[in-house]
């Protein structure tokens, strides 16, 4: 339960920051004070604070208490698996529905990304995400074989796959590599997103893995142009932004 607990604490602190309870430039209470307030271990509190730091809401110098950096919320790399939470935080209604869930052999790329033997069966999922009733993102995900059963058991309109895995199965994602590029909408994407074929799409691909590094999913998310903006916060002491040439 400690892993789920840190998500609850992070959510409460996030709400307090976004509401202005902590002003920009203000220090958060110490880890010890937060641990006492939440009846949690300092390790759990540290995970919660690290989550907000990854979102760019707070920061600090080494050894100093955390400082509130901003009151606005963006779709950051630390939140890419929490589309529903991100959208609801902006006051938008998010709905989703599974269009297909099929077990099949993994492709060569899926097997490599999920650290599986070639040909291992995975769960291939096609899902449509909507904001305020408007088609916004097509999600194509390959779930590792060991995660397939709980995903198959989810209702067709589950709000968040990753939240459900965390809450119901204790499978919590820690984020790995993200690849962002653009491409033109094919026939299926155009139909699902209600746009013209060839329209520009923003694509975000990523692997989600557990705290021990065991891959959970390899996903390909395609957003309608103009529907989201991604942000990256970095510094000389944090993981720097890496720029790459075009890759397939």
**Residue range 170-200, pLDDT digits in tens:** 988 876 677 889 999 999 999 999 999 999 9
Distances (CA, A) of 163 to 16, 67, 79, 169, 207: 21, 28, 12, 10, 16
The mean per-residue pLDDT over the stretch 16-36 comes to 86
On the question of pLDDT at 83 being above 80, the answer is no
- Give the H/E segment covering residue 33: helix 31-38
**Residue range 85-103, pLDDT digits in tens:** 666 666 678 899 999 999 9
Report pLDDT for 97: 95
Report pLDDT for 51: 78
In sequence order, what are the residues at sequence separation of 6 or more whose Cβ sits closer than 8 angstroms to the Cβ of residue 153?
A: none
Q: Which of 34-38, 101-105, 164-168, 235-239 has the highest mean pLDDT?
A: 101-105
Q: Pick the range with the lowest mean pLDDT from 57-61, 137-141, 186-190.
A: 57-61
Radius of gyration, CA atoms only, the chain: 19
For the chain, counts of helices (H) and of strands (E):
8, 10
pTM (2 decimals)?
0.66
More confident residue, 221 or 16: 221
Residue 150: pLDDT band with limits 50, 70, 90: very high
Domain 77-227 falls in which CATH fold? Chorismate lyase (3.40.1410)
The mean per-residue pLDDT over the stretch 130-140 comes to 92
The mean per-residue pLDDT over the stretch 6-17 comes to 86
Where in the chain is CATH 3.40.1410.10?
A: 77-227
**Residue range 101-110, pLDDT digits in tens:** 999 999 999 9
Mean pLDDT score of the chain, rounded to an integer?
Answer: 82
The CATH number of the structural domain formed by 2-74 is 1.10.10.10
Residue 236: pLDDT band with limits 50, 70, 90: very low
Report pLDDT for 105: 97
Residue 221: pLDDT band with limits 50, 70, 90: very high
Where in the chain is CATH 1.10.10.10?
A: 2-74
The mean per-residue pLDDT over the stretch 118-147 comes to 95
Backbone phi, then psi, for 229, in 5-degree steps? -130, 125
On the question of pLDDT at 82 being above 60, the answer is yes
Report pLDDT for 62: 46
- Cα 183 to Cα 222: distance, rounded to the nearest angstrom: 9
Partner residues linked to 152 by β-bridges:
none
């Amino acid at each position: 339960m400690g892993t789920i607990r840190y998500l609850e604490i992070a959510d409460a602190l996030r709400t307090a920051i976004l509401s202005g309870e902590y002003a920009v430039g203000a220090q958060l209470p110490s880890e010890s004070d937060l641990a006492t307030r939440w009846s949690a271990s300092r390790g759990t509190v540290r995970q919660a604070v690290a989550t907000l730091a990854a979102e760019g809401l707070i920061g600090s110098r080494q050894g100093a208490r955390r400082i509130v950096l901003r009151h606005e919320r963006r779709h950051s790399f630390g939140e890419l698996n929490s589309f529903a939470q991100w959208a609801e935080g902006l006051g938008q209604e998010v709905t989703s529905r599974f269009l297909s869930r099929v077990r099949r052999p993994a492709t060569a790329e899926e097997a490599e990304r999920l650290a599986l033997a070639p040909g291992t069966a995975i769960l291939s999922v096609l899902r449509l995400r909507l904001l305020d009733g408007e088609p916004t993102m097509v999600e194509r995900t390959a779930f590792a074989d060991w995660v397939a059963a709980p995903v198959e058991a989810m209702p067709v309109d589950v709000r968040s796959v990753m939240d459900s895995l965390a809450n119901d199965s204790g499978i919590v994602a820690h984020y790995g590599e993200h690849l962002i590029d653009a491409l033109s909408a094919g026939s299926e994407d155009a139909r699902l997103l209600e746009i013209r074929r060839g329209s520009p799409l923003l694509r975000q691909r990523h692997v989600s893995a557990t705290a021990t590094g065991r891959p959970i999913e390899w996903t390909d998310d395609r957003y309608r142009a103009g529907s989201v903006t991604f942000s990256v916060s970095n510094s000389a002491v944090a993981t720097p932004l890496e720029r790459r040439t075009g890759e397939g």
